[in-house]
Amino acid sequence: MSVIRIPRIVRPGVLSHLKPSSLKTLLSPFADYFARRGASLACLRAADPVLDDVVSVIATPVESTPAELVERLELLDLLSDSGSTIHFEDGYENLVARLREADDSAADLAVKILIHAPDIAWREFDRQALQARRSLVSFSSNPALGFLSPDASRVARLENLLRPWFEQNARSGICRVHIREEAGGVSFVIRHGDLLKRIGVFDENGCSASKILRPERVDVAHYRHSTCEWQISGIGRRLQELYRASFGSVFHASTTALTHAHRYSLEPLREGPSALACDPYARVQFAALSSLKLGLPGGSRMAVCHGNVFEALAGLNPTLLQGAALLEAKLDLKIATRRRLFPVILNPATDKVSGIHLDDAIAPWLEARGFSNHGHESVLLESA
């Protein structure tokens, strides 16, 4: 059964900003499907086509909706969004100059990229997938083992290592890995199936029903050349162990090449609010502790997550912050040029961080304040 997902192309203006010729190029391969749903694409021959029926079909996918149509519309919505920077990335200028006509809108150009350079469209999907907020686990690799540059054969080998685990754990045998060269490192986007779930749907007659579908999940991995460090997402210890062993095997020739980095620390918080004081003219202008989980001497745990955390801890017990184990903290950071606070969650016991990859100002700030370190590197170098 094909997966049915509501396409994201329900924003008014995406289709209306397309020229009739672009609409025809985009939708004509699926003319039979639209006709069966009562929306003939003959309307596209008009100079100013009325798209009400076409948009209605797109916004109400059914079991027979072609997966290729859903994928194409989602990528179009992504590429034509004002947040897309595809026009300005290295190597895209010649492509844009070759494809763009004087009367093309951003959406018209996006259609041409989808048709004539689909690999560029997927590269933009990967870029935004890598920027999404995720929890990442940090691993160190032994510099003596080196890093084997990713190529088609190694990516295929990685997919072959990952695919059986997904299949054996009821997540289907689908696994695709894209690579993306970054400044100072390499990133990987891993698209795979997830556990089946039942959702409510409408059939072609408008009757309510339910279907069992397999959602898609996207995980990411980053490798930094300067620190020999990996940061990998993925829910669950077994999946993390799969990624740890597989990336180590393919890119360092050893299943045991990656070890937990002991990368993060909450010890600076014992200094109190002064640990978070910021220069309002710096990249990170403000920082606040919004929640803190502690391990008490008797073995129990507690969390403080309302109001001023430091004041709450002092009110409970002035010595609590000094004597308890600091298990997990959530910091809210205000970054210059960004309106919203960025949440960053640190868990030293699991080497896990959420939010560090969203802005290049966060990692240096954490390191300067002692919340992250590269102390593990000296151990690896001594053992190399």
Give yes or no for a contact between 26 and 80, defined as CB atoms under 8 angstroms apart.
no
Whole-number pLDDT of residue 327: 94
Whole-number pLDDT of residue 71: 72
Whole-number pLDDT of residue 103: 79
pLDDT, tens digit, 9 for 90 and up, residues 227-270: 888 989 888 889 999 999 999 999 999 999 999 888 899 999 99
Name which residue leads in pLDDT, 63 or 151.
151
Whole-number pLDDT of residue 208: 72
Name which residue leads in pLDDT, 338 or 356.
338
pLDDT at 203 over 70: no
Name which residue leads in pLDDT, 345 or 101.
345
Tokens representing 93 are: 């200028």
Tokens representing 334 are: 């205000």
Whole-number pLDDT of residue 226: 84
Q: Mean pLDDT over all residues of the chain?
A: 80
Residue 213 banded pLDDT, cuts 50, 70, 90: low
> Amino acid identity, residue 240?
Q
Tell me what percent of the residues of the chain surpass a pLDDT of 90: 28
Among 26-35, 84-93, 155-164, 232-241, the range scoring the smallest mean pLDDT is 84-93
Whole-number pLDDT of residue 171: 82
> Amino acid identity, residue 61?
P
Name which residue leads in pLDDT, 62 or 287.
287
pLDDT at 358 over 60: no
* Mean pLDDT of the 331-342 span: 85
Residue from 258, 249, 256 nearest 230 by CA: 258
Phi, psi values for residue 150, rounded to 5°: -70, 135
* Mean pLDDT of the 204-215 span: 68
Instruction: Please indicate, yes or no, whether the overall pTM of this predicted structure exceeds 0.85.
Output: no
Whole-number pLDDT of residue 299: 82
pLDDT, tens digit, 9 for 90 and up, residues 287-324: 999 999 999 888 889 999 888 999 999 888 888 888 89
Give yes or no for a contact between 287 and 346, defined as CB atoms under 8 angstroms apart.
no
Calpha distance 68→66 (Å, rounded):
5
Name which residue leads in pLDDT, 5 or 111.
111
pLDDT, tens digit, 9 for 90 and up, residues 135-175: 888 899 988 889 999 999 999 999 999 999 998 988 887 88
pLDDT at 90 over 80: no
Give yes or no for a contact between 243 and 232, defined as CB atoms under 8 angstroms apart.
yes
Whole-number pLDDT of residue 383: 24
Residue 29 banded pLDDT, cuts 50, 70, 90: confident
* Mean pLDDT of the 212-226 span: 81
Which long-range contacts (C-beta less than 8 Å, at least 24 apart) are formed by 79-83?
A: 79/106, 79/110, 79/113, 79/114, 79/121, 79/124, 80/14, 80/17, 80/105, 80/106, 80/107, 80/110, 82/106, 83/128
pLDDT at 6 over 60: no
Whole-number pLDDT of residue 85: 47
Tokens representing 177 are: 């890995």
Calpha distance 38→30 (Å, rounded):
13
Give yes or no for a contact between 162 and 175, defined as CB atoms under 8 angstroms apart.
yes
Phi, psi values for residue 335, rounded to 5°: -105, 135
Which long-range contacts (C-beta less than 8 Å, at least 24 apart) are formed by 89-97?
A: 89/127, 92/120, 95/120
pLDDT at 2 over 60: no
Angle at 355 between CA 353 and CA 357, to 5 degrees: 100
The ranges assigned to domains in the chain are: 20-131, 135-260, 267-383
Radius of gyration of the chain (CA): 25
pLDDT, tens digit, 9 for 90 and up, residues 366-381: 989 999 876 443 333 2
